[in-house]
Every structure is written in C-alpha cells, then in structure tokens.
Structure 1
Amino acid sequence: MRQELIRTLLLTTLAGCVALLAALVFSATVGWLVFCAGLMLQMLAHFRNFALLDRWSRAPEVDIALEGRGAWDGVFGRLYRHEKDLRALVERRNRRIDMLLAAIQALNDGVVLLDRNDQIVFCNATSEALLGLRARTDIGQSVANIVRQPEFVAYLTARDLSRPLILRSERNPGQVLSIQLISYADQRTLVQIKDVTQTDRLDRMRRDFVANVSHELRTPLTVLSGFLETLREIELTPDERQHYLALMSEQSGRMLSVVQDLLTLSSIEAAPPPEDGLIDMARILDKLRRDAESLSAGRHRIVVDADDACDLLGGEHELVSALSNLVSNAIRYTPAGGTVTIRWHANAQGGVFAVEDTGIGIEAQHIPRLTERFYRVDRGRSREAGGTGLGLAIVKHSLNRHQALLDISSTPGVGSCFAARFPGARVVTH
C-alpha cells in the first residue's frame, strides 16, 4: 500500500508538471484540463480494480485470473489465497463430517439426534429399522408423534438420564429394545437404541436355569431329609425301613443324574473341537437298536431303516451319546404298542439321522424351546419318564460341535421326528 501511495503521488506530480508546462505554453485553462485528465485516468484505473473486486465478492471463487495493477494485484493475490485455503478447509471439514455420518450409519446401535423441542434432526439406518423412523419424511417431526408407545413417551417426558428404558416393541412382537437418553450440546438430546432381544432371552434362560436347578435339587433333598428324620425318630419295621431306603436311593439317583448331566453339558461346552474319527454307522445303529429294545422291554416295535454305504466323521463317544438320547426319548414318550423308527441316510446336502415315533406328540409352541436347559412340556410326565430336562440341550450342543442341526417336527397325538442333519463334509460314502 505504501508503494501504491508513492506511485500515486509520483503520477500526480507528473500530471502537475505536464499541466504546468501546458499552462505556460498555452493557457491556465489548458493546464487545468491536463491536470484533471491525469487525475481522471488514475481514478478510472482504481475504479476498474474496484469493479473487479465488487463482482468477485458477489460470487467468490478460486480464480487465478483475478488480478489487478499495482497494489491491487497484491490485494487480489491475498484474496485468491484466502479463498483457496478456505475452500480447502471446508472440504476437509466436509470429508470429516461425511466420515462421521458414515460411521454413525454403520453402528449396530440406533442413533437419533433431537433438538430442544424433541424434533428429529438426524437418525441413522439402524434407528429407522428399530423404531420405524423414516429419515426422508420424519426429519423435523416430534419423535413422540412417531414412536407412540406410552412407555417411551413417559420416559422422554421424564428425562430420566440415569437409566435406560427397556421397551418391548409393538412393531416387532418378541423384540426387546434398550433406549437411553443422553444430553449434549446445550439441552439437545441423543437417543441411543440397542436391540437387546438376545440378551433378554439369555437373561430369562439364566433365571429359569437357576430356578430349575434349585427346584430339581430341592425336591429330592427335601424327600431325603424327611426320610432321614423319619428313620432317626420313628421305629420302623424292616419292610418299612427297606421301603424308605429304596425311596431315598431313588431320590439320590435322581440328583446324581441331574448333576451328571450338568457336568456333561459343561464339559461339552468347554471341550476343544471333536476329533474327526471315522464312525462305523452300521455298528452304531445296531447298538442303538439293541439299547432301544432293552429299554422298551418288548412294549414297542423298533424299526431300523439305514443306508449301510455311508459313515460319519466326528467324536464317536459324544455323537453316540447324543443319538442314543434321541432314541431313548422316543421310547419314553411313546405309549406301549407304538413304533419307533431309526433312520440313517445320505442326500445331496449331507447325512440325516432321524428318530420317528408314534408317541404323544408336542404342541407347536413348545418346539422352539425344547433344547433349553430344564425346559419341559409336562413336568409331571417328564419325571415319570425319568428325564432330567437336560438331554436335548446336550444333544444340541453335541451336534453344533459337529456342524449339525437338530430339526424337530411333531403333531400332537400322531408322533414326533427328531432329525440330526450333518453337513456333507462329515459324511463318508463307500
């Protein structure tokens, strides 16, 4: 700017000198006209640069052609660099925002941002799926007008940030959500939504497991305690004593079975992957048939339908125990005179071991929970049959360790079919 001032003074001095010379040669009027013309030319040069600056300020852009003369060129250069740096800064900020939004969209948790009036500012895809929101139409709407469940509205109104709300979804029956309000940025609210359906199910199973174990062990312990008290305080005949001792032995055996099954289940869960030994299925099927006939004691018809040309790879002891459990269950829950069929065949998908019976059958609502620990359709009938409620849980874990699935189908009053489906990689044909 100092240089521009010196330049302007020099040009003005030059114009004055020329004007003075013109006044001496011609007249004072001509001299003044020359001086004014010189000043006008300087003003026009500055006006041109000012017009360029005004036009650029209305639509700023990084334009390398933006240049002026003298000090104006320095001003335009600084504006060019400033605009270029500003645009680079904005671009970096936009990239960061895009990355942040992409990360929020990728979260397994739902995220909803609310303003001070609980109107939706942003929601990610997970929150759309869990709460039924639609970002295209719901931005700017009150979240309470979209999620209308009374529990959620009351939680939102109360603003209790110390605890999450456990909400059972009305949109998806069986789905359980955990909703947490988090305050941020001057009375704005972040809503975090988690799908805790599996956690809730596992927690319920844990509570049921503890209650069932307590019940299964408390009943025989109560019986044993009562009999011991009786034997200690009351004189009994030898026959009565033998009767009580037999009942005590039965109850202790029941407790031992529960404990043994619990230990078996625990050892299966903690054991390393099974070794891929070759299992001779013809020999195993013959053993299962003989065990079934022994357990049935002639009360059932036992049928074996097997493909002798295929065997299995896996842990023989573990698999035989699981398959034997399916056979013994069929015997226990099939009335006398019924038929139990043991099948083993290979198909395009792998191998299928199935046990079909003509027993009492199972209602459809019970089938998904049959492999839960201690789950029983009829507790009284299960105890009469001698089960602990852990057999199918053991079967499921044993099959899972061999990449196999347990498929259960049943019709009440007609019978049931328990099929273990093994992948093709575990089937050996010969």
Structure 2
Amino acid sequence: GDLFEGLYHSQQQNLKARDRLSRMINRVRSSANALRDGVVMTNAIGQLDWWNDAATRLFGFDEKKDQAQLITNLFRDPEFIAYFEQKQYDDPLEINSPTDPNLILRIHITLFGEDERLMLAQDITRLHHLEQMRKDFVSNVSHEMRTPLTVIRGYVETMLDSPDAPSRWQRALRSMEGQTQRLEAIISDLMLLEKYESKDGSDMEGEVDMSALIQSVCKDAELYSGDRKHSIRIELDSLSTVWGIESQLR
C-alpha cells in the first residue's frame, strides 16, 4: 500500500509539472504570435520546428504541410540560402519577401543549442523607402545647388579682379567669396556621402602606401601653387601602410 501510494503521489506531481510546463510553453507561443516580427525556429539541419503567425504572413509557411520541412526548400532565394548556411550572422540580411516582392525584410539569425537557429524577420519596407527618399533628396540638393553657386562665385571673382570695383566693396566681396567656398565644400561632402551610400566600396579597399600617396599629393600641390611657388616640406616618421580606398584618402 505504501509503495502504490508513493507511486500515485509521484504520478500526480509529474502531471502537475507537465501541466505547468505546458501552460508556460503556450504562454510563450502566444506572446511570440503577438509579435509583428516573424520568428522561426529550425533544428540543426534546417528543418522547421516552429514559427509564429507573422512568419506565416512574411514567408508563406503552411502549418499543415511545412512542419519539419527544410527552410531552404521553402525559401529558395540563393542569397538567403547562402546566408542561412554560412553560420556567420554578424550582419543581417535584407531581402524581398517570398510572398510579396514589394515587402523588404531584414533577417537576423542566432545560433543556439547544437547548431539550431532562431530567425527574426522584420518588415523594413517603410524604413527602406524613407531612407531612399533621404538619399534622393541629398543627391538632388547637392547637384542642384552646385550650378548656381558656381555662377555666384564666378561673378564675385570677376568683381574682385575688376579694377573698377569700389574699394568699399572689397570686404563684402571677400566675405561672399569665402561663404561660397564654404557652401561648395559642404556640397562636396554631401556628394561624397552620396557616393559612399550608393555602393559598398569594399571591393576598392586595399593597402595604401601612405608615403607615396603623400609625396604625390605634395607634387600636385606644388603644381597647383603655380607662380606663387609655395615651399612644401614632407617629414615622414614611418612608411606605414593604411587599409582603405586610395582615391578617397587622396
């Protein structure tokens, strides 16, 4: 009797623990289903273990047919497959949704357990469009402002070089010349920013010989000096190289 009573109490405790764990799992799943971001869990070989409702909308998974299917068989984009299989997830992947090409997803993957993966997919379509609008605005403003500034600077320089210009105008004209140069420098910075954002540029990076670069720049400066004949002296403490883009460093 004591033995069976002990077994009965042990069974009841196990049932209570199982119910408690089941409630916790259901609560976690309900919380994940409430997220607007897609959450996907896969096992070590990439089979789907679980996903939330947002992932169904973003990836088109079918709860009845896709359970335990390889995610790379359901989402066949080569860029995604390469990203999923590389197991290096320091940077997110931005890619179009397989259910709607107009949706842009940012995918983060985290490894856990024995090569299991937790994938988070965010809809960044609106953010992407806003970023594109910002880039277009910077591009248009920088290009549109350059032409009138060039005209203004040309007239100011003409008036400064004119012997007929009143002396009392010299100070104002010098100030106008300085401000137009300042604006041109700002526009050049904007155009440089646009150039960097328009492409990655990593393929142009490499080791740059700073000694040769500095000497080349100084030769250009001496030629630019022309009749003024500025004297430029170079003092280099080391001949180190720098990793970067030579044209931009120049």
Work out whether the TM-score is over 0.5. yes
The equivalent of 2:142 in structure 1 is 214
Matching residue within 22, 33, 50 for 1:94: 22
Report the CA distance shift for 1:140/1:170 in structure 2 as closer, same or farther (over 3 A). Answer: closer
Matching residue within 174, 177, 182 for 2:110: 182
| C-alpha deviation, 1:234, in angstroms | 4.4
| C-alpha deviation, 1:197, in angstroms | 0.4
Are 1:173 and 2:98 an aligned pair?
Answer: no
User: Does the 8 Å contact 2:60/2:98 carry over to 1?
Assistant: no
* Consecutive aligned runs of 4 or more in structure 1 exceeding 6 Å deviation: none
| C-alpha deviation, 1:220, in angstroms | 2.2
- Give distance in 2, aligned partners of 1:160 and 1:236: 70
> TM-score, length-normalised on structure 2?
0.62
- Give distance in 2, aligned partners of 1:90 and 1:179: 34
Task: Give the counterpart letter for 2:156 in structure 1.
Answer: L
The equivalent of 1:300 in structure 2 is none
- Give distance in 2, aligned partners of 1:231 and 1:171: 63
| C-alpha deviation, 1:143, in angstroms | 0.6
Task: Give the counterpart letter for 2:66 in structure 1.
Answer: D
- Give distance in 2, aligned partners of 1:221 and 1:89: 76
| C-alpha deviation, 1:208, in angstroms | 1.9
- Residues 175-212 of structure 1: CA deviation (Å, up to 9, x unaligned): 11111111011211111111110111111112222223
The equivalent of 1:415 in structure 2 is none
Q: Percent identity?
A: 33
- Give distance in 1, aligned partners of 2:25 and 2:98: 34
Matching residue within 91, 94, 119 for 1:191: 119
- Give distance in 1, aligned partners of 2:12 and 2:132: 61
Alignment of 1:321-400 (within 5 A): none
> TM-score, length-normalised on structure 1?
0.37
Over alpha carbons, which structure has the higher Rg? 1
| C-alpha deviation, 1:140, in angstroms | 1.0
Are 1:103 and 2:31 an aligned pair?
Answer: yes
Specify which structure has the bigger relative contact order, considering alpha-carbon pairs within 8 angstroms and separated by 6 or more residues. Answer: 2
Can you give the 5+ residue segments of structure 1 that lack an aligned partner in the other structure?
Answer: 1-71, 238-247, 256-430
Can you give the 5+ residue segments of structure 2 that lack an aligned partner in the other structure?
Answer: 166-175, 184-250
Task: Give the counterpart letter for 2:41 in structure 1.
Answer: L
Task: Give the counterpart letter for 1:127 in structure 2.
Answer: A
Task: Give the counterpart letter for 1:221 in structure 2.
Answer: L
- Give distance in 2, aligned partners of 1:201 and 1:152: 22
Alignment of 1:33-182 (within 5 A): 72=1, 74-182=2-110
SS of 1:138 mapped into structure 2: coil
- Give distance in 1, aligned partners of 2:43 and 2:159: 75
Task: Give the counterpart letter for 2:33 in structure 1.
Answer: Q
* Equivalent pairs, count: 168
Task: Give the counterpart letter for 1:129 in structure 2.
Answer: R
Q: CA RMSD in A?
A: 2.3
